Structure 1
Amino acid sequence: MKRKLLNPTWLAMGIAIMILSSGAAIFIPHSAKDSDRENETDEPMEAIKQEFSKTRDPQLNVVPRERLIKALNYYGQQELLQKTSKTTSTFSSISWLERGPNNVGGRTRAILWDANDATGKTVFAAGVGGGLWKCSDITATVPVWSVVNDQFSNLAITAIAQDPSNAQTMYFGTGEGYGNLDAIRGNGIWKSTNGGATWSQLSSTNNVSDFAYVQKIVVNSSGVVFAACRGTFSNTGGLQRSSNGGTSWTRVIGSGSTDMAISDVEIAANGDIYAATGIWTTGKVFKSTNGGTSFSNVSPSGSYWRIELATAPSNSSVVYAICQGNGSNNVSAIQYTSNGGTSWTSQTLPTIYDQGSNSPYTRGQAWYDLLCAVDPNNASTVYIGGVDLLKSTNNGTSWTQITNWSLYNDPSNPLSPFPWGASQNNHADHHAFIFKPGSSSTALNGNDGGIFYSTDLNSGTGLPNWASKSSSYNVTQYYACATHPTNANFFLAGAQDNGSHRLNSPSITSGTMVSGGDGAFCFISSSNGNNQITSYTNNNYYYSTNGGTSFSGVNGSDNSGRFINPSDLDGTNNILYTAGATNTLVRFASVFSGSANRTDLTVSIGSTQISAVKVSPNNATTVYVGTDDGNVYRIANANATPTVTQLTSTALGSGGYVSSIDVKKRTTNTDDSILVALSNYGINSVYYCANGTVASPTWVDIDDNSTLQDVPVRWAIWSPVSSKIIFLGTEIGVLGTGTINGNSTVWTLLNNGILPNVRVDMIKVNSANQLVLATHGRGLWTSNDVSPLSMQLLAFHATLTNNESVLLDWTVNQSQQNTSFTLERSYDAMAFDKIYSQTSNNNLTYQFSDHDFSKAHDRIFYRLYLTDAKGEKQYSDIQSVILQNRANVFIEKVYPTVTQGKVSIKRGNTSAVTMHIKLIDALGKVYADEVMPYQDTEFDLSRFPAGTYLLYITDEINSYKSFNRVIIR
């Protein structure tokens, strides 16, 4: 398969290492014609340019992916605060359901046979964007994988290792550092001390540039850990060594900007350690004979980049080095030593036969897919992998191809070596080859299709047989999805590197590939669910008129437009609108016929290319488009002779990339409410207007730069039932707001501990008012019904009466049976306890008097929630009362509670002498611990990170306490 390469030129510009997020190409059988499978290769530079344009910081012109770490820490803190304080939001009742597909795998670089299982059946594996998984019986015909954890702050697991001196101790590393387009930056190393049941991040590697990309981890017999790293910058990374279980690290290879990109590290049977460098830098081989405290250069002759190593378990002196040529994307040498690196011999470079011709076995992808493994019992038998797998039984003198991803058979062609069978149809692009401990016959292979298994590698007769073991290993990466107008469980979805899928089930289900190549935007007509569209890259589209059973190419398809091409369907008039070349909107009329009429419409949009397309739900002949310079245009009469109006007098988001446009459906059929998202780092990302029908709408920035952290927003959508609710698809999951309030709008992460911390490329709404997510690493997910309760809470008040009781009253919009009201009380606005509940009656107003509160506090907090028959909840805002006419009021007021600077503290009337002030986050970390005189004062919060905190104030003998939640923006 042709990969999306970040070439050295782009790397030198300092952008390539940060370009994209999660990735996992997949492999599933399908019935599409062979020409749809892999002959449709992409244009790597076009893909790179598109993603760079979408996510770069316009001010810095780089993609600062390290900002995701700050965002994840912030939202992790908020979620923990919500759990520990029992606080809730409009979205507390949102839940998520994984929908699949469950018959696919994804790119896998990390596989481990678990030494804790004496039967040799338990395996750990990880997708490069889908978290850590475990299978208790890999020998089963249909294995069962369970996700160990997909809530880690980083899901790009690329290496896993076990301590041979204590099998309960395990490590995994994150970050795919080879420069492929869809690589995720990592964030260090995690450790388990209970056999992989639970994991914690090593603080010594958290947000440390040296550990941005961990290619390999090995542990020697003394428990010393080695990590092959590549850092964020050219002077970080290197081979890292820890002799204390990861508490601290020492760089043992690499200095300055030399030898810092470590591609591999291996431990020989006698304890010698070999390490290789060369990811887009000079490739070398180093050796240590003293437990890794020092290394010597034992490089073979030649000029190389990436080098992969393999040591022979049966002979410590035998080492193989697979070398990518300097300035080449192919392997230029296979080096072999039988004396521990004292001298090297260059072995035969093999070719593979695929798609009717011979080619280098890495086919221009040695930088991306490259592996080598030696038979545990025979040092002369070695396996290598690139696009396909090959085997040698004579130290690499000659080779036999043992897999063929395309199954191309041509008996008349003398170059065709075998009549390939289904058992050799292993997926392309190989990254890992792990023998079962001690076995020469059984191994696991990790590739872009997931995990494959063979038990007859050493049978001596014919080619080995391979079986996919990826069932329920769910790590698909989608770009787009589509929903059915009447069937809430029918979906289309376009997957990176493996076509478009049809799914139709109320739970996790398998996917059927309906068209090949890279899957991109897809649609199901809102007026006829049998009419469907899928796409490949650029302007290559397929249509179906039989409910997705079969697809045909749309007349006029070509390679214009963007790589993943923005488009939208007018299902009423059967017109598909797509991005074309500069200043061009492409119109495919009669798109569901065999003779679609393509027209390239010249539109004046500032000499740029369309980046987002939206057909108005109120008037199908009106189309909205966005551009990669932050502008939005309305195109009227798009079905005939278009008229273009620019709706942005000033570019939105500092001239960022418009990633999506949504128009609110109105009963008045007017496009008054328009929502725009921009996907770059370093900008304000979300805007809306409420007067979209006028010539120059007023755009309101609703990015508060705090609760909406600096992460790419790839999609924004109005709630289907409320113009107050907005959902965002971001790099780390789904965000939402229930109240639009300019740039004071508060956003909440809605993953709720269920949806993984995964990139969300698109959000749609199905016929059951459920959100449908196309995630880039964990497949399709849906929410529960996001419709608001039919009974709505209109008002809630708390009023102090004579300092002896608190009157609580509330109003609802309608009477409704089977709805209950619950009142809760708190003295710190964090921990709430239930004090009263009742069922609804025919009234619209209710009240309750609280007489039982404690008078030992300055302030009392109340909240109310109502619960309908389905168990859905709606919460009120928190109300508070201050107890008056008391002899002892310690702290009268703390204000403002949302600030970027200082808060004022107004003292009360006690005899306290000092105030002991602590600022504490949701994790219990104390950021400030200061003593001040008991007087009106100001406390500076600008020196602390943005987030939600508890400002806890006591007197000098801890007899008075004041709890105040503050938000630092």
Structure 2
Amino acid sequence: MSLLLSLATPSFGQGGSGKPTKQPRKESSNRRAVIDHDNDADDPDLPGFRGLRIEKEDYLRRRSEHIRVLRGLDSVEELNLKNPRELAVEEMQDQQNRQRIKRQLDANNQWTVIESATEPGVWKELGPAPIPNGQTTRISTPVSGRVTTIAVHPANPDIVYVGTAQGGLYRSLNGGESWRQLMDSAKSLAIGAIAISPSNTSTIWVGTGEASFSCSSFFGVGLYRIEDADTDSPKLYGPFNRDGNNNDIFSYRSIGEILVHPTDPNTIFVASASGIAGMGCEAPVGAPIRGLYRSTNAMSPNPKFSPVTISGVNDLSITDMIFEPQNPNKMVISVRGTSFEGGGIYKTNNAISPNPVFTRTLTLGANGTRVRASLSANKIGNTVTIYAATGESGTGACATYRQHGQLRVSTDSGETWSSPIGSANGFCGAQCSYDIAVAVAPDNANNVLLGGSANSICSGVLKRATNGSNFSASDVGLHADTHAIAYAPSNPSVVYTGNDGGVWRSTDGGINWTSLNKSGFNATQFMSLALHPSDPNFTIGGTQDNGTQWLRPDGTFVRADFGDGGYAQIDQNAKDSTVVTMYHTYFNAPGAVVGFARVTHTGDAQDYGWEFFGCGGTPNGIGCYDSAVQFYAPMAIGPGNPNSLYFGTDRLYRSSDRGENMAIVSQQFLAGAAITAIGISPQNDKVRIVGLETGKVYRTMNGFPTLEDVTGPIPAYHITRAVIDPKDVNTAYVTLSGFGLASGQHIWKTSNLNALNPTWKPMGTGVPDVPVNAFVVDPENSYNLYAGTDIGIFSSTDGGLNWASFGTGLPVVAVFDMAIHNPARILRIATHGRGLWETSIGLNSPPPPPPPPADNPIGPTGLTATAVSTTQVDLKWNDNSENETGFIIERCQGAGCSNFSMIAEPGINRTTYSDTGLALATTYSYRVKAYNGAGNSDYSNIATVSTASPPQTQFVLTATTQNASQIYLSWNIPPNNVLGFRIDRCVGAPCTNFTPLVVLGASVSTYIDSGLPSGVTHNYRITAITNNDTIVSNVASATTLANPGAPSNLVAETISPSQIRLKWVDNSSNEVGFRIERCLGAGCGNFSQIALVGTDTTEIIDIGLVANTTYNYRVLAFNGTGVSAYSNIATATTLFINGIPAVPSNLRLVFASSNRIDVAWDDNSENEMWFELVHQIRGERYGRVIYLSPNTTFFSTTGLNRLTTYYYRIRACNSNGCSPYSAEIPATTK
């Protein structure tokens, strides 16, 4: 892991996401606020308000892991013949078919006149289609969601097919003026590749599974074939994923490209790549072999695929492939891998033969990194030109700032390759495996478009060259992170591009772009939603890549804030649709950003209007260095006016003043384990439950700050939701992520949350084995429950006993959040790929409760009780019933006792139970009965047993670790007229050389052995001294907790005049984090702490340093026990820059329109690192600060008010400070 430490994050250029809080955080005087050269200027993911920031690679990893867990991929290890998600979809579709048949029968018999509230609703798609004010470059244009691939009809530039990350496949017949969805019924909406059959252009192939190598990219189920794709009646067939032996070869994988033979539609090639699952974003164990596949019967009802051997390449991702135009025998492919694995670009001259021979013509991955490449070719006469955009490391300054990406060209059909083209250096920044695209015009090999990540030092959203080598930005109005570029073969002036914001079209070869994100195109990936208490439209919700959205009272969408959008909440005391308190998160990372943004008036629900509270913003009590926090940290609201607000890290925070002060209201539950779900009773703010990523559940019924572990039998899976019944504080639900759970175990319910040990029961029968991400209880009728899963919505009308797929018209899409607007009786859901949807859930009057079972269960028999130790009794009985809901076990003390009380309530089909924590040498009696909704069975026989007594010749000693230096000893006192005790000890495991430790009195039964070394095993025995003899106990052992091992090999590397990178070796497996200390000057010794970073971190970048200055560093590891020794001391000196920059001069107005002002100035310095351009209206408290790259001399401000005078000034800055401001000038819009 790598962390970047900075104290200011300006943003470069129009469309950038830099944004200060309304009350900027005060910084200590010894840390100068400086620019971060790794800044992702136009990156919509990273809001720039914060004081501490996260490196983009770490940001993407954290986000990917969060999405991965929501998708249940932590639990996927071994695979079945079909992947669990596909099996779940089939189960859901079977339920839907049965529901459809029932509705048809009811209609035919004319028995159903009016559908009741429990009948499935009809889902309505709300959008946004589009988001009108996208986070785009220089000017704001409409956006939607991530586009992954584009295919343009070979003869008609207006027929285009667009694949999305989790929104399915869209088609336009009029150049993007309108759209139609073609794959709503598919088992996967994650699209990786599209190919149009050249010999029958009405047939297209669609590969599922997004080959973007991020955990937020869904794997697929194989290929689909769409026939009559360009007609009014397209026909979908598939998925196809089998080889000749009926083995599944594509499930759990992604498909990066498909090639169809130009004259033989039965011959197609498929590039299989990694599908993401598991820790570290690796392919799941047991997934099919990746590589190149071919079918020669592709148009048959069940086409089969066989692997194509590539010498030296084994189970590696094929990321792209092309035919030489008009010659399918000549094929070029890119293999993602290190050079040792076979990574690089390969060519064959006999692709159509049974055994084509491939030769590697360009080796990639020489530095041990797996490198992705994207390919594009054209053919003019006999010259075949191929461009290869690769993820190779940048050079020069781009290498310094870890900007990756190179472009090479071949003019001999891929036989040889040029050296990297200089002006493309670093084009895809820090994420070349995620966003990399290249396209060459079909009629001119010099016209090239190159797509990468957000604009920064080297990277660029989209660059254009007309001579094949000199690239410049061509990205006005485009969203960051380009994934696809496609020229229209029949008209090279027409180009389409796709990125994290959707799809755009150019009609002048890529110079100017028009957004095609409009009605009918909905691919927004929502993370959350929150509803207004009275207005049925008013909704806010966080989205991936596209900010926080606001569905306004008039039914239109607008982006209310930038950055990545996480959780959202609305205070339910709002009396109108103007004075509304709203909250949302961006992202969270310990030591960088931990907290949330807030507005109290909808007029502030826009860029720069939200105030951020927490670490990195206005301090409010939320800690920067809590040991864990979710990337999208959970929030919840409780009752009260204002609503209480809750926020979770590794502990629970609560505010009663709209988040301005957050008090800790729980213990740290588990170091390194984050809260993932918070449930607050709408009736009683003191009743709270939280769930952790480890599967633990905690509860308080009285608001005490120490919550009790009430996990019980709930499996150790990621807790996704914790919900308390709005009408009953004692009824609660938790839902689980993951695959591989037993039937019904994705939803758990308790009806006695207030009990000492609440009884949790699995209550998800009918919900397939698929992650449950969202859950809501109908506030009018607690029997009506709704669950949002990885594949759609399920409902129960009997309090969770039975579940079924709910509603009609919703595609197979992951649902990440849901809420009920009770006044309007609407269920609204947030999908991760298809925006917001809603359906009516009927009238307010609740239906009667479901009828109970007709018969009581049959009573259990044959109860036996066996004492297995001094403190445990094991029970066994016969289950004689087939309709019990569970069993009740009762116990009383003594033989013949009758005052039985319940001790446990095991679930259905249980026949054993272990009763622990009993008193030694004590008699207990037990009985068992079964129960269901109809009542209880008869009791079983009574079984009586006595726990064992210690042997009379010795007594029991126990040893328990207290901390790093103490071990607690306890023993029972034998009934032998003891005069005293002697404790003996030896060190090591095992050991026999006991020596006396201490002599104690006859009434003492405990002792704490202190002052021990950490991490060492100690063995003890105790001797009881009597008048007649001595009695020796058993030997008891315990090991003191260990301090973490000291880090080593600390290295300090100078990066720039203000940055030093630190790297070290982590030699511990039990640290909670690392403390970094620094002192100023060679040979200094007055170290002070500058940062705390989390477990497993081995690299940070210290930013904000003074130029030409020597710093010494040292690092230690820490945990709850203590600290390690220090690492070695590492020394580095920052680069030298001579003074602060000169003042820019001649600031002048260049152009003004009704909403735009252009200004220019003279750059009088050679050492600036950035400019700060300020404009404001007279009387404004704050001006807008725009951070611009060095050497910039022009800027265009858009989105301004008409007939308004703005005042501009500018200054130049570097790590030594900023120049004075230039003279201020007025500029007035028309």
State TM-score, norm by structure 1. 0.69
Once the two structures are TM-superposed, the CA of residue 619 in structure 1 deviates from its matched residue by 0.9
Paired AA for residue 587 in structure 1: R
| Match of residue 283 from structure 1 | 343
Q: 1:170 is matched with which residue?
A: 204
Kindly tell me: are residues 724 and 647 of structure 1, through their superposed partners in 2, closer, same or farther at Cα, counting changes over 3 Å?
A: farther
782-791 or 533-542, which deviates more: 782-791
Aligned mate of 2:663, from 582, 587, 599: 599
Equivalent residues, number? 718
Alignment of 1:711-722 (within 5 A): 711-722=770-781
Q: 2:290 aligns with which of 213, 219, 237?
A: 237
Distance 1:53 1:651 in 2: 21
Residue of structure 2 in register with 1:94 after alignment: 121
> 1:436 aligned to 2:492?
no
Question: Retained in 2: the 8 A contact 1:659–1:678?
Answer: yes
CA distance in 2, matches of 1:340, 1:585: 61
Inter-CA distance 35–557: structure 2 relative to 1 (3 Å threshold)? farther
| Partner Cα distance (1:516, 1:402) in 2 | 22
Residues 282, 786 of structure 1: alpha-carbon distance in 2 compared, 3 angstrom cutoff: farther
The structural deviation recorded for 1:656 is: 1.6
Q: Which residue of 2 aligns with 1:543?
A: 598
Matched, 1:45 2:88: no
Give the corresponding residue for 1:912.
none
Deviation, structure 1 residue 35: 9.8
Whole-angstrom distance in 1 between the partners of 2:42 and 2:642: 27
Query: Aligned partners of 2:546 and 2:462: how far apart in 1?
Result: 20
- In structure 1, distance between residues paired with 2:288 and 2:763: 39
Q: Kindly state the Cα deviation for residue 510 of structure 1 after the two structures are TM-superposed.
A: 4.1
- The aligned runs of 1:785-824 (5 Å cut-off) are 785-787=841-843
Match of 1:764? 819
User: Structure 1 residues 331 and 241, CA, compared in 2 at 3 Å: closer, same or farther?
Assistant: farther
Equivalent residue in structure 2 for 1:227, among 266, 270, 285: 270
Aligned to 1:113: 152
Change (3 A) 1:466 1:719: same
1:322 aligns with 2:380: no
Q: Percent identity?
A: 24
Alignment gaps of 5+ in structure 2: 4-13, 21-40, 48-53, 107-115, 131-142, 276-285, 454-460, 589-593, 617-623, 855-1230
| CA distance in structure 2 between the partners assigned to 1:605 and 1:797 by the alignment | 41
Preserved CA contact (<8 Å) 1:130 1:155: yes
Query: What is residue 859 of structure 1 aligned with on the other side?
Result: none
3-state SS of 2:446 partner: coil
Q: Post-superposition shift, 1:186?
A: 0.6
The equivalent position to 2:610 in structure 1, one of 552, 558, 582, is: 552
Equivalent position of 1:671 in the other structure = 729
How far residue 610 of structure 1 moved from its aligned partner, in angstroms, is: 1.6
8 Å contact from structure 2 (residues 193, 257) kept in 1: yes
After TM superposition, give the deviation of residue 37 of structure 1 in Å: 4.5
The match for 2:90 among 55, 68, 73 is 73
Aligned to 1:493: 541
Which amino acid counterpart does residue 373 of structure 2 have in structure 1?
A: I
What is the TM-score normalised by the length of structure 2? 0.55
Q: 1:3 to 1:153 in 2, by over 3 A?
A: farther
Q: Distance in 2 between matches of 1:603 and 1:755?
A: 42
Query: What's the secondary structure of 1:68's corresponding residue?
Result: helix
Closer/same/farther in 2, CA of residues 234 and 98 from structure 1, 3 Å limit: closer
| Cα gap change, 1:629 to 1:345, in 2 (>3 Å) | closer
Deviations 1:541-587 (A, max 9, x none): 222222364342143344663210011123524365444443x2122
Using the TM superposition, give the Cα deviation of residue 191 of structure 1 relative to its aligned residue in structure 2, in angstroms: 0.8
2 CA distance for matches of 1:576 and 1:207?
Answer: 54
Q: How does 1:681-696 map to 2 (within 5 A)?
A: 681-683=739-741, 684-696=745-757
Residues 890-929 of structure 1 aligned to structure 2 (within 5 Å): none
Shift of residue 214, structure 1, vs aligned partner:
0.8
Residue in structure 2 matching 1:680, options 704, 728, 738: 738
Tell me the distance in 2 between the aligned counterparts of 1:722 and 1:66: 36
- The equivalent of 1:377 in structure 2 is 443
Q: CA deviation at 1:29?
A: 12
Deviation readout 1:356-377 (Å, 9 max, x if unpaired): xxxx211111111111111111
**Which stretch shifts more, 370-379 or 191-200?**
191-200
1:454 and 2:506 are equivalent in the alignment:
yes
Q: What amino acid sits opposite 1:532 in the alignment? A: M
Distance change (3 Å), C-alpha of 1:619 and 1:183: same
Asked if structure 1 preserves the Cα contact closer than 8 Å seen for 2:393 and 2:403, the reply is no
Q: CA deviation at 1:204?
A: 4.4
* Alignment match of 2:706 (pick from 639, 644, 661): 644
How far does the alpha carbon of each residue in 1:747-767 deviate from its partner, in whole angstroms, 9 at most, with x for none? 211142x11111111111113
Query: Partners in 2 of 1:290 and 1:649 — Cα distance?
Result: 61
The residue number in structure 2 matching 1:480 is 528
Query: Letter of the aligned partner of 2:146 in structure 1?
Result: R
Indicate the SS of the match to 2:292. strand
Choose from 686, 694, 703 the match for 1:629. 694
Among 509, 517, 525, the alignment partner of 2:571 is: 525
Alignment-mate amino acid for residue 345 of structure 1 = S
Question: CA contact under 8 A between 2:15 and 2:42: conserved in structure 1?
Answer: no
Asked whether the equivalents of residues 207 and 258 of structure 2 are also in contact (C-alpha less than 8 Å), the reply is: yes
Pairing 1:511–2:551 present: no
Change beyond 3 A, Cα 1:600–1:643: closer
Cα distance in 2, alignment partners of residues 514 and 727 from structure 1: 28
- Give the letter for the 1:283 counterpart: G
Letter in 2 for 1:659: T
Deviates more, 1:51-60 or 1:551-560: 51-60
SS of alignment partner, residue 361 of structure 2: coil
**Structure 1 stretches lacking a partner, 5+ long:** 5-26, 353-359, 404-423, 459-463, 799-969
Counterparts of 1:714 and 1:548 in 2: how far apart (Å)?
32
How far apart are 1:490 and its partner, in Å? 0.9
State how far apart, in whole Å, the 2-side matches of 1:46 and 1:779 are.
Answer: 23
**Superposed counterparts of 1:323-342, under 5 Å:** 323-325=390-392, 331=404, 333-342=406-415
Conserved 8 A contact 2:784-2:798: yes
CA contact (8 A) 1:312 1:318 kept: yes
| 1:715 aligned counterpart, secondary structure | strand
User: Residue 134 of structure 1: which of 158, 171, 175 is its match?
Assistant: 171
Cα pair distance change 1:535/1:202, threshold 3 Å: closer
Structure 1: distance between partners of 2:2 and 2:433 = 10
Distance in 2 between the 1:83 and 1:171 partners? 30
Secondary structure in 1 matching 2:262: coil
Matched, 1:467 2:514: yes
1:289-304 alignment runs, 5 A limit: 289-293=349-353, 294-301=356-363, 303=365
Cα distance in 2 for residues equivalent to 1:693 and 1:268: 71
Residue in 2 aligned with 1:208?
Answer: 248
Distance 1:636 1:601 in 2: 13
Larger Rg: 2
Q: Does residue 782 of the first structure (1) align with residue 838 of the second (2)?
A: yes
* 1:375 partner letter: A
- Which one of 473, 483, 492 corresponds to residue 401 of structure 1? 473
Deviations, residues 298-342 of structure 1 (Å, cap 9, x unaligned): 422554621211111425522122222389986454222212233
Residue identity matched to 1:662: V
- Are the aligned partners of 1:30 and 1:512 in contact in 2 as well (CA < 8 Å)? no
Partners of 1:102 and 1:510 within 8 A in 2: no
Q: 2:76 & 2:378 partners in 1: Cα distance?
A: 47
Distance change >3 Å, CA 146–CA 54, structure 1 → 2: closer
Alpha carbons of structure 1 residues 796 and 175: separation in structure 2 relative to 1, 3 Å: closer
